[in-house]
Structure 1
Amino acid sequence: MTRITLISRNGCHLCEVAEETLERIAPGEWTRVDVDSSIELQRDYDDRVPVVLLDGKEHGYWRVEEARLLRDLARQPGEPHL
């Protein structure tokens, strides 16, 4: 199971930066979902992309907080994220 999901949008500069960051710190360990692929995603995240989900829960938006994400990735799934 992929622990990291990036909700992004084509043509979004911040999304491109987030994708580059995730590929650098967790190559091949994340998936991208286009916010415009469903009404539900648009409703929940439209104005906040990019959004990083870790283990299905929102971890952050607009930028990847590298140190925090790496720290939380070191925890087992289900352990609380600070």
Structure 2
Amino acid sequence: VIERVCAESGTSYDEVDITTDPALVKKYGEQIPVTFVDGAQHDFWRVDETRLRAALAR
């Protein structure tokens, strides 16, 4: 979902493997996948396409 929405909107994204960083595992381990938009946590567990599109359009 993220790859498709970003490609369609011309937005770049970074994928981070939190399992390589104990601090990130502790903070987000129960919320995978975690999505951030403009540096702020946007969503977790499930990527909602409509919500992601709306957030990227702002």
Pairwise TM-score range, normalised by the shorter structure: 0.7 to 0.9
- Runs (4+) of structure 1 moved beyond 4 Å? none
Equivalence for 2:2:
22
**Higher helix residue share:** 2
Deviation at 1:50, TM superposition (A): 0.5
Equivalence for 1:42:
25
**Higher strand residue share:** 1
> Aligned residue pairs: how many?
55
Distance in 1, matches of 2:43 and 2:24, equals: 15
- How far does the alpha carbon of each residue in 1:19-40 deviate from its partner, in whole angstroms, 9 at most, with x for none? xx11111126111000112121
Distance in 1, matches of 2:37 and 2:50, equals: 14
CA RMSD of aligned residues (A): 1.3
Identity %: 36
Distance in 2, matches of 1:57 and 1:33, equals: 15
- How far does the alpha carbon of each residue in 1:58-77 deviate from its partner, in whole angstroms, 9 at most, with x for none? 111111111111111111xx
Structure 2: state its 5+ residue gaps. Answer: none
Structure 1: state its 5+ residue gaps. Answer: 1-20, 76-82
TM-score by length of 1: 0.61
